[in-house]
Structure formats: structure tokens, C-alpha cells
Chain A
């Protein structure tokens, strides 16, 4: 009984979080800086981590994250949260910028880095929406496991495309595999991810 109540509570919280996210965007569109801060608290860490992984440069990662959230600030009013997912939008914009940078510069700099672990604790206490951020953080952890649980070769091919901006031909060259093999691995891995993400959305009313 307790478990059922808890589960229901969690599901309701997730649905509420999704709704809150649309409301956050609406508030940002109206010039609400607190809402922008809340959205930042929710998404900045995965977005920054992704961009840092792609660019291998803390300076560029900061610039890109800054650009992306300012873009959100300017464009939130016209974003249709019912038709597109906020996280997909933000991630796509950030990744495009990061990939553009590495394609134009084609260089890798060592990451000076912060110590693992010591900086991973999100300061949700400062957020005005700690519950929403905590739920998103929990979802992120689950989905990061989901990606890493893919068969190694599928995960590797997908990550080369995603983080290094390589085409299937380039991935085949990098891995010493045929193009057909690489395509099939990406297709299988992406299909698994798609089903899992879709399932998560169906279960919890939307990961927006």
C-alpha cells in the first residue's frame, strides 16, 4: 500500500514537473529571470557536460552554454513546448554549436578538469524548484545508465557520432568496420534508446 502511494506520488510529481516546465518556458518568455535560473539549474549540468565532452575546452563549453541559455531567454516566447521537448531543443542547439566549433577548429585540447565527484553535487537547495530538479536529476541518472547499458559496440558508434560529429563513413574508418556494420549498430542502438525514452515518457507523462 505504501509503495503504491509512493509510486503514485512520484508519477504525479513527474507529470507536474513536465507541466511546470512548460510554465517555466512561458515565464521565461515573459522576461522572468527567476524562471531562467530554474531552467538553468535543471539543465545546465548535462548540457555543460555534453559540450565539454565535445569541445574538450572549458572556456568554449562555458561560452556555448551561455549562448544557449541566452538563446532560450530570447526565444522562449515563441517556443512551442507542446510540440517539441525542451531538453531536446536545448541539447540540439548546444550540440550543434559545439560540433560546429570542433568541425571548424578540428583540434583537441586537454581538459584541465575538475576533480571527479567533488563537483557533482548539484546545489538544488538554491533552486526555486528543487523537487523538479531532483526528479530531472533522477531521470538523467536512469537514462545515462540506459545509454551505457547498450551493447558496447552500439554505444561506441552512437557516441562517436554524437560527441565527435562523425559521419557513418568516418566512424567506419575509425573503428575499422564496414559502413554497413556501423549503420546497423547505430540503428539497433538508437532503436533501443528510442523505445526506452518513449517508454519513460509514456510511464511518467513526459520528460520534456
Chain B
């Protein structure tokens, strides 16, 4: 037996008038629609509303109790706090603080995860450069530099995430993205901090003072010694592993240490990705130990040295022991900087010869209002048969430039480079760069 809606309405109409039936039907329809359109989260809140409400009421009651106690104590004190002797508050005045302090969260940043908000902060860096030189085959070009998204997140009082996501075009004009730094940091105290993930090796000064942003750097780019691996740099600039840093109790000397253990650089074939992000080509690990001082007596002065060691296994060659020794002395103040670094990269092939690549650079700049002229001289001398990194040969020469900051977030740099090379004619290069942060 089937009933149409009309027949049902007639049946019900014997008891209720049509008017009432239509009202009930409308209400039912609205209820049905509400059931459909209410999101599951809201439904869940309704479903477990009772314990939640009870909890809220309890919290509110606790808060009222605390506030009542605070008002009572303030009334009993009835005296304004003594401003003249703030470091010795009276017992009566100090009492309410205890009450209120109990109400205050122990860690406002919170050790518990707050899922209602993101903890992530992002700052961007980028640059566009117009450059040209007289090297055969080079054309003047506008070049999009690295677009760097620097990401940090205060996970808790002691843990922090730090990352650099870099978008960059290659020599074939294709863009790609890579995490240049990817670190979970733990800070126990000033003497012991641990980072795990992908970091910039603490070889010398420049590599950890400047990362993937040209805006922060005085010149248009990094010194050749510290150039990134995929741009022909000779150092293992990036590494994946653990880094421990901290202060060494040393009073006014300001002694710091850095100890790192990582996968080291890839060496199996020249075409392989230089940073071993996921798989290490051997079981040996790279080690780096650095010490540096920041004496109180000379503000902005930093001096230090580092020693890095790794075992490499280039295909078709005997094992290579890589040792990198670096020393630096820099003076960095807001209006003046003088950077000096020297390195020795030593590749000892088992049962064969040793290849030594020395290098240094010096850079000086002084700020005059929004202008900062600078000068850099760099030198690197790589043996012709160097077995591990790309052929750089001997290169040396000065760079002269001017940085102009038209606003707090934009830097315009003009730089001239003169580079002498072994077996090749010297080159003149000119670059105009617009660096920015956002």
C-alpha cells in the first residue's frame, strides 16, 4: 500500500488542520537541511558538548576564584606600589603577584600543540641581476636569482624548526625547488644546542654568516671559495647530519665551539647531486670541529679556525682523504666590515699524490648613510689534476662595488670584477643587482 504526500496530509488532517501540518513539515525540512549542512566538526562539538561545557564552567569558576582573591588582596593592601624602590617590593604588594602568576601560563609559547594556529613564520628574499662580461660565449643577461623562503617555527620553548626553501632557475632556464636548509633545533642552554637535518657546514666564517640571500650580503654574491656546490664551488657547503654548538665558559673571551657529523659530500661521479640528502655513498661520516672567539674587548671582532675531514671514494680512483683547514678574522660593525679568511683544501689519494688547494679572500666595506662602497680580493689555486671538485684552476682578482639601500628592504648593488685565470685570458665583468626581502 502506497501513500502519496497528499494522502498522508489528508490522513493527518483529521487530527490537525492543514495549517499545522504545513508548519510541521516546514520545520522538519529545516531540521533535515540543518542536519545535512552542519559540518562534522560542529556536530562533534554538539555531541560532546556536555563534558566540554562542564570543563569550561570549572575553568571559569577557578578563574573567578583567583580574581576574587586578587581583588580581596588588592583591597587589603590599599596602597599604591612604591615606585621609588621597585627592586624591594613589600610583602603585601608581592602577594597578589603570586596569585596572578599561578594563573599565568608557565610557557606562553606552550609545550602543548595548539592546532588552531600555525607557528610558522616566513620571510622571503630574492634578487634580479643584469650582468655581462667579456668571456667568450657569454651574453649579457637579466638573471632571476634565488627566491628564498626562510621558514622558522618556534615549536616549543626548546625546539625550533628552521628551513630555507629555495626556488632557482638553472642554466637551461628551468626552475626547480630545493630545501637548502632543513633543521630541527634544540636549545638546552647557551652551552649546548643541537641541530639535526641539512645545514651549512661551519667551515670558516662566510658559510654560516650568509646563506641563500644576496640581500643580506654586502656584495652581489659569495666569494668563489664559498660558492655553492652546484655553481662550481670547491667546498662541501651543505651537509646532512648533526651539528652541536655552544659557548665554552671563557669569560670575556667569548669562546664558542661547533662540532658536526654528517654524510659529507658525494664524490662517486662528477654528475651526482653533491649533497647526500637521503643516501650516503659510504659508511664513513664527515667530521668538522670549529672554535671561534668573540672577545668583549673589541665589539664585532670574531676570529676562529675549523678542521673538516671526510673519506671520499671517487669512481675509478683510490680512496681520497679530504681535509679542509680554515681560519678567519672578521670585524663586523653596522658601519664597517672587514672579512678575512684563508683555507686549505687537501685531497690525499691513497698510495698516490696529495692535491693542495689554497685560497683566501679579503673584503672591506664602509657605510656612508645609504651607500656602502666595498672591495674584495679573492684567490684560489687548484691543481690541474684535482680529483674531486670541478676544475677551477687558479683564479684571482679584485671586485669593486657600491651598495645602495633606497629602502630598508631593497638593496641595489653595482659590482665590477676583474678575474685572472691560469691558461685563460683575464675577464672583466659588470653586474647590477636588485636584492630585496619581503
Say if A and B assemble together.
Answer: no
> Which residues of B does A touch, CB under 8 Å?
none
> Which residues of A does B touch, CB under 8 Å?
none
